[in-house]
Amino acid sequence: MGGELMSLDGPKSAGKVKHKRWFDLKQFLFGIGGNGANGSGPDGEGRVALPAGLRPAVITTMNQKGGCGKTTTVVNLSAALAKGGYRVLVVDMDPQAHASLGLGVRLEAFRRSIYEFLLDDDTTFGDVMRSTSIRGLDVLPSAMKLSEAQLELANIPRGESALKRALKAVEHDYDFIFVDCPPTLNLLTLNALVYAGKVLIPVQTHYYALEGMKELFRTIEAVRKRFNPNLEILGILATLFDQRVTIAVDMLGALRDHFKRQMFETVIHTNVKLIEAPMLREPVISYAPRSSAANDFYCLATEVLDAVTKGVGP
């Protein structure tokens, strides 16, 4: 994971993952990495910031298998960090636009999306970016026509770097930038990997979820060798975990045995609140802030912060 992650509660067994409650984590969320614009103190408005040399932490969330909780992770992890005081941008590179919808963006209300931002020189960041109901959390929304970008990106010079070029002027306004990818390897996913510094891999605790992991690692290694030598795996996140199901407990144990420190300690449990929240176009962090589902993502946020700031003093 680019370094050992902080254990919040000491060693955990596969089926008995324990977390602190989210309100116990608030001090950690607001304190790590320093506060204020330069990482040295509060800005007077409850804002915190990563040290300047670490901004932005660009994290692509990727798995070539659908239904693994990838978009759910992007929506709720970004919301947890924004609630902790960080400035966060979600870039929705999936034509299905589920991350945009999950953050409350009404796609029909806007004429322009990430598609125009990538391919139309007259479209600015401000034309496309939308604020969300969570202070400090912005989104570049997607749209179905983004699927048409494949051919257009293929026909422009260095089309695989279009996202990196487009965000260069504004990226340092944010502490974290999360990119949500389609569940397939195409030019949209390649753009996300070329731009990212780190990859977060959600994986279900189901047998078939492991089938594509070798291909996924090969893809990341190929991008690292050809386009982005600094790309590294932030961590592997177990999702949709139900400790009542024996095979899920066994699979989580197998994942931990095989990937060891590449696995996050946090596990995202199956939870009805995670099903309900997208229907209301809200992150579970705001829809059910004291739920165990919200707690899972606050715990994940502490681990991500620790991994991103490892080796940086307070």
Residue 24 lies in a domain: no
* Residue 8 in tokens: 């919040």
How far apart CA 11 and CA 5 sit, in angstroms, is 12
The verdict on residue 253 lying in a domain is yes
- Does residue 265 fall inside a structural domain? yes
Would you say residue 133 lies in a domain? Answer: yes
Assess if residue 13 is contained within a domain.
no
Structure pTM? Answer: 0.85
How many Å apart are CA 252 and CA 267, to the nearest integer?
9
Q: What is the pLDDT of residue 254?
A: 87
Q: What is the CATH number of the domain that holds 304?
A: 3.40.50.300
Per-residue pLDDT tens, the chain, 314 aa: give them. Answer: 543 333 333 333 344 444 444 444 544 454 444 443 333 333 334 688 999 899 999 999 998 776 678 999 999 999 999 999 999 999 999 999 999 999 999 877 677 899 999 999 899 999 999 999 999 999 999 999 898 888 899 999 999 999 999 999 999 999 999 999 988 889 999 999 999 999 999 998 877 777 778 888 999 999 999 999 999 999 999 998 888 888 889 989 988 998 999 999 999 998 999 999 989 999 999 999 999 999 999 999 999 999 999 856 55
Q: Flag whether 113 is in a domain.
A: yes
Which residues have a Cβ under 8 Å from the Cβ of 264 and sit 6 or more positions away?
A: 1, 5, 235, 236, 237, 238, 300, 303
When divided into structural domains, the chain yields a total of 1
Distance separating alpha carbons of residues 44 and 121, to the nearest angstrom: 37
Is 131 inside a domain boundary?
yes
Domain range spanning residue 205?
55-308
- What is the structure's pLDDT at 44? 35
Tell me if residue 292 falls in helix, strand or coil: helix
Residue 16 burial (C-beta neighbours within 10 Å; 0-12, 13-18, 19+) = exposed
Give me the pLDDT at residue 172, please. 95
> Does residue 286 lie in a domain region?
yes
